[in-house]
Amino acid sequence: MSHSAEGLEGEYELTLVAAAGEAEGRSASGRLWLYANAPEMRALPAAAGGVRSDASAPLYGATDVAPEAVGGLRLGDPMSRDPEKPGVLLVQQNGRIVLRVGSEANRRGLLRFDGGYFVLRVQEVTDAGFAGTWASGLLEVQAQGHFCATALGD
């Protein structure tokens, strides 16, 4: 599915539901904030050096939802609002949107080949918000489920 991150800046009520893993059946809710990234912060590093031409990070933000509440890995501070190491980084690649959670996973200047992850994969975008699946793990998926992010009024 092809989606655009345009228009997703704002504040959301985020709910994560665990469908597999040690926290299966549990859910956690809280806030998600997304802000426009400065133009110079949108580029992502490429493995061969330089920047990727097929992906960008148009938004960054933070969440107060604890990944471990649904069996996910905590990779630094999800509440960090520092654009150099944000708690949430929205990556758009080939019409797909992924939100990486955790300030350590999102540190600028660091190209990760392996390590822990907690990602939200957007599958649907509507006027009310967006929704999809999430997964977290080290080498293999340790926990996964679905999520919804409902836009909060101005």
Of 7-16, 92-101, 107-116, 122-131, the one with minimum mean pLDDT is 107-116
- Check residue 29 and give its pLDDT: 97
pLDDT digits (tens, 9 = 90+) for 66-113: 999 999 999 999 999 999 999 999 999 888 999 999 998 888 765 555
Burial environment of residue 22 by CB neighbours within 10 A (0 to 12, 13 to 18, 19 or more) = exposed
What's the pTM?
0.89
Cα–Cα distance for residue pair 91/96, rounded to 1 Å? 8
Give percent above pLDDT 70 in the chain.
86
- Check residue 152 and give its pLDDT: 95
- Whether pLDDT at 133 is above 80: yes
Beta bridge partners of 59: 36, 90
